[in-house]
A and B are shown apart, each in its own frame.
Chain A
Amino acid sequence: MPTLPDLLFYALAGFTLLFGFLCVANPFSRNPVTSAMFLVLTIISMAGLFVLLQAFFLAAVQVLVYAGAVMVLFLFVIMLLDIKEEERRRLNKAALGIGGVAVLAIAGLLVRALVQATPLASAAGQRAEGSTKPLGRLLFTEYLLPFEILSVLLLVAMVGVILLSKKEMK
């Protein structure tokens, strides 16, 4: 008998998948703004999954940063560049076939794995604590190194974006 969190999990996971699919391959609209909106919904569903894991801080960040700030930037750029509706491309049959086989293979593997799986003992030993304090402590002690590397990664992204988007002056 599934419990309420289980039901919620399946619902949210289903939403994530559905909205993600609509974001990249919406059969009804080719408008980039629509896609961006579905991306927002995807992110919100994922935030819901974080809540189920009692990672409230991550859920909040997910909504604030991704669904909020980042998506605003996305929309801003879309409007600024005045991107037209994407044209429907003719699909390459061979590529579609190979891609389909690959997807089916992975999906088959997943289904097989799920069917044969035995319930795991709660493998991930400690659950992430929801509050910000332990998270911050971990980030600045045990996981300081990856955290700092991420700052370098952001620098790379910044340099790259400025460089690629700037007009070449001759």
Chain B
Amino acid sequence: MNYMELLGALAPEAIVVLTALVALAVDLLVLRQAPQNARQVVAVSITAVGILAAIIALSVAAPSPPWMDGLLINHSTTAFLKQTLLVLALVAGILSIQSRFTQHTGEYVTLLLLSTVGMMLLVSSDNLLLMFVALELTSLPLYVLTAFNKESPSSSEASLKYFLIGSLSAACLLFGISLLYGLSGGITWTQLATTLRAGSEPIVYLALILTLIGFAFKVAAAPFHLWAPDVYQGAPTPVAAFIASGSKIASFYMFARIFMAALPGTAGSAAWSGATPGWVPLVAALAVVSMILGNVAAIAQRSVKRLLAYSAIGHAGYALLAILSNTEQGMGSLLYYVVTYAVTAMGAFAVVNVIERDVQAPNGESLTDFAGLSRRSPLLSLCLLVFVLSLAGIPPLAGFFGKFYIFIATAQSGTSQGLIWLVMLAIGTSAISLYYYLQILKQVYVVESVGQPTPVQLRPAESACIVAMACTVLILGCAPNWLINRFSPNSTEVRRAGVITKPSTTLELAAEIHPRITAPLGTATGLVQKRPQFETTTANAQ
């Protein structure tokens, strides 16, 4: 491996870093005197060009072998996740045009892009060292971005809270991974997986707990969620949208991989009868608390951003179920879930962003600001309907299939459906959640606005983004195969060091089913279940 090869493997990240620097330089050197709006448009355009270039670079890149003991790994799943992150960052950039939370457009896009670089590195590392550095690179810009609205005290307060709690969690994580290193003598997944076994050392459990706490903070799982409502509400809305979407994808992916791939020997079991110690029961505890607390606390909220924050906590609980299922299918369902959730959350925040600009309330938006939206902007309310119902898990939207897939993966994992109690709890809390999601929709569709309804001002780029995201949510819900197939082929690669407890269902032989499904439904030929077509692991289809 030489430096050029490293640069080649890192080309997308390098492009994004360069874009960030160019955007900063252009804004500060050339456009100092230009009007604010022009500066925003130029900065976002530069971002768009850079992100497009990075996306292209990702799609043409040849898969590289793991570099330096998993310090950097690239395969088609990581490439897809990175592309998703880049698109989300671009949307967050577009949303900020015309918003008045800051004069410093150049710095805004720079930090946004550098945080994205952190996330990109986070998804392509199999190594504790790089994981920690990437996590810091992800978080630090987000702390600053949260404080961007200097006229709002709640923005600074949220940022301080985010920073302090984030640092604390980073300390826990660092303690945890240093113990893991000390116990195993290695920092890569393979080294960890081969040395660490449950029951050998009590310190293993301590390391697990500390690592878990660190990640639980990052993904806002209860009881480590306290920063989330304040940050979602206090941060400028485009930033909150990015925290709720991009950062979720990267953190959950890393969360799942470090436990599934690096620590399979210490999994334990969370079965209702016969639980054994390990990280699975700990994750189960987090999931239970998150699902209950998130969904119940959301009912009492009056601000839509806070409501979305609590709903995000509940959704983190569902995603944790996928992690604790500890199977390939669980990994696939987790990725489907977080990607679709990220798009949905970004969309919901985009709508909130429009409304917030529209009402210009000093204390942020509230539920009642959405009253009569369906008369004021049918398009926007239809998109919000799609996003909110997807969050609630109503078919045929992506959120429904995401949850369903996770529940299936959880129910099938473990022996004799010992985890079905978690599925029951999840379904129960999801029934509660419909109540508060309907509260939003009630404001939009049922309650009439006060006075003559005035149309909401929408910019073309913004509405294009919102409509595109709504369509994505609908299409991915109706035809989830496309996304699932992107994740399933190399899930072996993803958790290659892991113990495979269940065969991948996609691999199960359809032939077993086929001969038995025959006569009563008539035409047997239509019933042949084809074995799903797998993509090859190479990403260089072009």
Contacts and interface: CB of A to CB of B under 8 A. Distances in A.
Q: Indicate yes or no for A touching B, C-beta below 8 A.
A: yes
Interface stretch (A1-9, A33-41, A115-123, A129-137): A115-123
A150 B133 contact: yes
Q: Which of B6, B148, B181, B203 has the most CB of A within 10 A?
A: B203
A137 to B, nearest CB: 14
Contacts of A109: 205-206, 209
A109 B212 CA distance: 15
Nearest to A122: B185
Contact of B133 (A153, A155, A169): A153
Given A146-B129, A159-B110, 12 more contacts: A113-B205, A116-B202, A120-B183, A123-B185, A142-B68, A143-B129, A152-B137, A153-B133, A153-B136, A160-B141, A164-B150, A168-B151
Contacts of B205: 109, 113
Interface residues of A, number: 30
Nearest to B3: A144
Given A124-B181, A124-B182, A156 B203 contact: no
B121 interface: yes
Interface in B37-93: 67-68, 71-72
B281 to A, nearest CB: 15
A113 B181 CA distance: 16
B111 A145 contact: no
Nearest to A125: B185
A81 interface: no
Given A156-B111, A159-B111, A164-B144, A145 B201 contact: no
Given A117-B201, A152-B117, A156-B111, A145 B137 contact: no
Contact of A163 (B72, B107, B117): B107
A126 to B, nearest CB: 9
A90 interface: no
Interface of chain B: mostly helix, strand, loop or mixed: helix
B203 A117 contact: yes
10 contacts: A120-B182, A123-B185, A144-B3, A146-B71, A146-B129, A146-B133, A156-B111, A156-B140, A160-B144, A164-B147
A117 B183 CA distance: 11
A18 interface: no
Interface string A61-92: 00000000000000000000000000000000
Q: List 5 A-B pairs, minimum CB-CB distance, nearest first.
A: A160-B144, A123-B185, A113-B202, A113-B203, A116-B202
B36 to A, nearest CB: 12
Contacts of A159: 24, 107, 110-111, 144
Contacts of A117: 201-203
B195 to A, nearest CB: 8
Counting contact residues on chain B (CB < 8 A from A), the size range is: 35 or more
B200 to A, nearest CB: 9
B459 interface: no
Interface of B: 3, 6, 10, 17, 24, 67-68, 71-72, 103-104, 107, 110-111, 114-115, 117-118, 121, 129-130, 133-134, 136-137, 140-141, 143-144, 147-148, 150-151, 181-185, 201-203, 205-206, 209
A118 B182 CA distance: 13
A77 B67 CA distance: 43
Contacts of A113: 201-203, 205-206
Nearest to A112: B202
A143 B130 CA distance: 9
Contact of A124 (B71, B118, B133, B185): B185
Nearest to A105: B209
A103 interface: no
B111 A160 contact: yes
A156 B112 CA distance: 10
Interface of A: 106, 109-110, 112-113, 116-118, 120, 123-125, 142-146, 149-150, 152-153, 155-157, 159-160, 163-164, 168-169
A169 B102 CA distance: 11
Contacts of A110: 206
Contacts of B129: 143, 146
Contact of A149 (B134, B144, B151, B182): B134
Contacts of B72: 145
Nearest to B24: A159
Contacts of B68: 142, 145
Nearest to A124: B185
Contacts of B183: 120, 123
Nearest to A126: B185
Given A145-B6, A145-B68, A168-B150, A156 B133 contact: no
Interface centre among A116, A144, A152, by most B CB within 10 Å?
A: A152
Nearest to B130: A146
A160 B110 CA distance: 10
A118 B133 contact: no
Which of A117, A156, A160 is most buried by chain B, counting CB atoms within 10 A of its CB? A156
B209 A144 contact: no
Contacts of A164: 144, 147, 150
A117 B206 CA distance: 12
A31 to B, nearest CB: 21
Contacts of A153: 133, 136-137, 140
Nearest to A115: B202
Given A123-B183, A152-B114, A159-B110, A144 B6 contact: yes
A142 B150 CA distance: 42
A44 B134 CA distance: 28
A23 to B, nearest CB: 15
Contacts of A106: 209
B198 to A, nearest CB: 14
B121 A149 contact: yes
A75 B211 CA distance: 34
B193 to A, nearest CB: 15
Contacts of A168: 103, 150-151
A112 B148 CA distance: 45
A156 B141 contact: yes
A10 B273 CA distance: 44
